[in-house]
Structure 1
């Protein structure tokens, strides 16, 4: 039955492949790609992880039920969001222990859109309008309209900038009616407002906004509702912004907000902005504070230009002010009625996270994997390897989209000698290697011999020149795409040892392989020691990499190809069996685009078995500055910057070499560079730092003690 269902879904996907995402019916829903339009009743499966590649629209007459524990991972971008149209419904059925999570492959604010609900309840912007993003109509005269229910929902990393004027919030309620249930909803690290109400009559309790880059919680355009237990923390602008109408502060139906039991703490500008007429607001049991010193703004603030503001419509009771900051002395603008209470509890725990939110409203700390267990396996959630601990790897450890692997300083991974033993970071996943100079992260093998295990493979979504991408040389993971700033995490102070297992006659592991990895990824202080293939290799992508070391590779020291467009700074390649550096464009089409464009500064290449620097397969564009190169065995008869005579796609004008020192070239080796290549020499070039010797920045961590 499962195979038949998969076939049916596959045929549906093929049948609608020529349609736009918003026109694609997705009944039943395909976990691998849920973008499209829902027109009937659809229920997700909590055992699946759902991939959102574009817009998912619940149209009129359709409904989407999301059971507790379901996770939706957006690929990101301007078209990646979930929207409930007028007449559609969404039922989020999370629990405190198993919330529904809508997140992104990239864990950064603004990575994807968010959740948009459009209802038929009144607004004061005319009969309604078109949603800020998604272009869906909203508003009407049905105060009791229902768009479904949201319970225990967390949205993360939302707020994609759609245009200069339009940007997603975490959760947006456009004219949503009182028939809708909103209880226990959190926005975490959004790039615009965390949660916003554009008119409507929906009530909302147990709301959380953490780390918003604009306002924490915002209501406007005639919202008539009750809020109970709201917690807004660390918003870049206002903690709460309450407006009536942006073009007519006296517009009706007027905003009429009743908000009880609320904490607003830690904001960059106005703690509570009574804006654009503000409407009527009744606020009770509030803890408010944490404004940066010297702001000089009232905690309940109104612009002096707001002629439609009427202070008599604002009533604040049982307010407690905490950590107001030096220089901030005004509690409320003139005329606002305010009473204080030192016993106010706000959302429950004063300025601290309320108990009702602690288990679900923000990502929790990840417990490290038990060092006594084998860490091999496929992971779909975040994993941590603890500082200073030693772990055993017997098999493949694969981190899938939406998950991350954090390896803390001083952690050691000892791999079993096997063809199937490696670590792979799939597209949409991330790795965070947190080594230090004195406590690097080490990935090694139980047998201290080159070629006994795989190594580290990272796959991203950045451009390559081998078509739309491909499958990684080993591991068969897809890579490549059009996200040049794709982020696969960060790596600092990592040493991999004894890698390069021969997988097949055509395929072999490198020490560290970067397949289509994007420039959002940080790569610094990475060493490959005694690898059986290339030490470090870049297969396309745009990632930059500094302070790289390759020692004792049985193939090339450092290799880049397939349209890699990046900058390398401080590279040291020593004692490689073949080329010290190999830089290619494309193995089947030397003129393929996007062309390899490599800028490499401060590099030492010394002691190699064949070509010191192999400009291969079209070579692309390479700019090399401050280079020390040498140590070729006597009588090799090869140019130090070498090009095959058969490479018809090679263009010497694309190669620029300045400030190069040639050292210990070996008897019989007289050609410094292939014909046509121009270069300038500098006898005192320092290369990676110490000329031909190990640079100081590598001595403490790049090789075993």
Structure 2
């Protein structure tokens, strides 16, 4: 990760924890709203009048607290919210009412390790707000008693401070303004306050941290203890220091048993830990921890529960210790501190004392399917962790499975009290752990995270998911498990540095992108981006990277982002030496399109084409068409100006087969290809001299006015390609392209449009590097009700070779236009020198091969006859491109074992109805996802 990328992510995390960024933003208006800085802002509306004091229950008096009424309401046997509740009672929701804690509120008296058959239950209705004003104001649910606080996503229960309600002080940094919530049970613990008793028994109890005068006890022998329900709760600005170094956590769970329900909890800006588990067996799910001043999550004293889906962002500045701290009494203590924490995302803040996870004092634990992004070390693995012995023991030491570590200062800390060798061995013990650079879009997984193999979880508590981290690829900032009930987790979207704010469009910030990108520009989610003119990523560095005016740039586009142009002059050129990373996901693809598409302008969207420019990516991999006479193909002297880009030209080509121009994953390019000059049109995606270090997979080009994708030389591979409705070729190869392409759905444009499914060309026969691509598992379809007599499935000319394997061609006209200058340009089929076909089903309305001027149907027929697995006959495709019986009856040709091709047992792009690689990220292939 570059320093700028890391700092950007860490700065985002700091914003999440500190800046008070509000989740979501108001939609100003549909369509485009231009912001005029000369127009003064309208005066703010007058504050609402304070609610009537009569809103308080039972006619009690209330006072104004901001826009709320503050009620010191009676509760059961209590006249105010303090003292000990000795009978069950309900704190009811009243619109506009806030309830005030007036000291320590006990729910029941401690029932001891054996509990009671008649628990006192405090019920808190959804939407209730409770406030405190000092560290003396907090709630303790004592052993044997229960709290039933079940909020909802639309009406969470909020526990916070008076200052928070009134907006007093520095809200972004406010901590420790009241006490917190303490829940105690009689489940087993391993730290006893009486020497000599057996841990995990009814004799082993302890006083909970942070509560004094009198102490409050937890622990016992009932792992199934039920302390009630905590759901959809925010705990904000708590953790007041009660005594020196004695602070309450936001949520303290001491000896709480597994029959207790804890899910959808946020702790924000606490002055000690966010949530701490002291022993017990309670499970927890959907936990958001933001800006707490010590650990975000802490486990201790024999905690043996399960936790899944945790997002934890550390506090900015010189604060916060660790994302997770795990401790125990000592190695070998029973019950062991042995939690299982799954699907966590821990985002550090750069504090030199912080780590992703700190492991010490006999803790075991399993950390599964997680992401740690930490500017310091990811793990502080101490020498007394686990069994306290050197070397990793999978039973008695902390274990990691399917965790992605992005650690600025190395994986494991070193120094006094640490055991980095055992920590490294614990990570190395699972092949699915990955150390690398994160590609997160905010908190959401990018390609690097999605590439990690998730570990299956076999406990009934865990959701069995196929991804790592707190959020999955189908979630976004506006649609995820934290949506609607959390605060300050997701920042308000704003135009990133390097773009220009231009008002609102469709309720999103409109950000203009223009000029040359010569640093790193990240287009973040939550905004929509307009290309203004030709946008250059970098300045061409030349074939050898030594151009005197060259300057590298990087364009990063997060999943779910839409980028649009208004005319053919709006397009992107990624120049040699620079990179683009457009990394969408299946449910949140990156979309490049036109303004008309974004605004749903009136017109025939089904047939719209050429409404903006397109995407051009240039590299320094070998090409065979040189702009300097006498230059040798495939060398640095052989370069050329890319088609469709003028004033100034954009050059491509060189000698580096492994050129890396970035990645396109889960990308749609729609309605592009505007005519830049007479007969000069941009393709949807143009790849010029792009090398095989570049990743192209899960890409669709739809309704382009020229080719869908054209490969001009280079060696880049492509997989899972959808090309639909483009007005010239769907795919085009030229100028020495010799990469591999697998899984292609190509559906030609209806009406008197489109030329060929694939066109393959070169400079001339025998030129090196040869145009010699390998295509496998393609389905090329031209079944328009209006036949274009100029179209063919594949057109081969001018020295192209190529291998076409395991394919299906359905064409109203001839399937193959095999020209006389194709391959070696001589009559007769020559394997290795002429285009070859293996295991291809040809369904051709006007015969297998074209005839007439420039055609060589005899050699074309020989090329087809050369493989006995080729079939000329009728298709049985279902829903246009899904194999039926005829396709699945074709004998498959084994593919080259080159590390790119996936082994298959079928021809065509889509094996059957269960083969859905194209679903979720494409448009126009099914009624449910129109373009």
TM score, norm. by length of structure 1? 0.47
Normalized per residue, the structure richer in strand is 1
TM score, norm. by length of structure 2? 0.36
Larger Rg: 2
